[in-house]
Amino acid sequence: MINRKSSLATAALAASTLFFASGCGGGLIPFTHELREQQGLTNEELKNLQWYVSHRITLRRQLESGGRQVTGTHKLLVVSGKTIEEVVIEQHTPGIAVNVTDGSITVSFEQGSSLDFSAQSGRLSPEPQRSFAEAPEPFPGNNPDRPSTPAVATGLFSGNYFLVVEPGGKVRFQTRDFEAVEDSFQAHLMIDSDTLDEVVENRKVLKGLRLPSK
């Protein structure tokens, strides 16, 4: 799987934190692993969410000489004399989750096919990384502009759920290997914040039972 920069995960965490701090709903927001944990979403609840893809996904594979058969509504292109099958999933195309694990979500955007999206390995935490001993700050209140300590990776997962792309740009789709091109490497999952609110509000909270009074 191709690794993304940790700054993307940091930005995603900041975006989700800002969303909940403001108390505003409506519109598509990036779905992050931090958001999943903050809301305590179960696998079944994730399957009840409406999913969207953030960027256009374009997958291509070269057909064998003379091959003209493509899958479903996919397109045939001729590039430099080669016959290419192309699959395009436009930005903000809706999909449903068909499988969920601790760090990945498999989403189907059409009948009979699906794509895997996964969170980043390692969680960002504001714990300092120290290479040398440092003297304590005698008057920390007098130095408000002092930079914050760098984030370090802890835990198992963090950040956005990106399209799973194997080394060499390969994506497994409908039992075949395709090549991801263009904005596919930036594609991650998004959700409608209103839908998330509905899922959270619909949780059944048990009030408990008390012993009968004597």
Express each pLDDT in 119-154 by its tens digit.
988 655 544 444 444 455 555 555 555 444 444 444
Cα distance between residue 28 and residue 10, in whole Å: 18
Whether the CB-CB separation of 158 and 123 falls below 8 Å is answered with yes
Give exposure, 158-170, as e/b (b: 16+ Cβ within 10 Å).
Answer: bbbbbbbbeeeeb
The pLDDT tens digits of the residues spanning 70-120 come to 555 566 655 556 778 888 999 999 999 999 999 999 999 998 899 999 998
Instruction: Please name the amino acid found at residue 96.
Output: I
On the 0-12 / 13-18 / 19+ scale of CB atoms within 10 A, 65 is exposed
The pLDDT tens digits of the residues spanning 24-46 come to 445 899 999 999 998 889 999 99
* The pLDDT value given to residue 79: 56
Predicted TM-score (pTM) of the model is 0.66
* Helices and strands per DSSP (H, E), number in the chain: 4, 12
Higher pLDDT, 173 or 125: 173
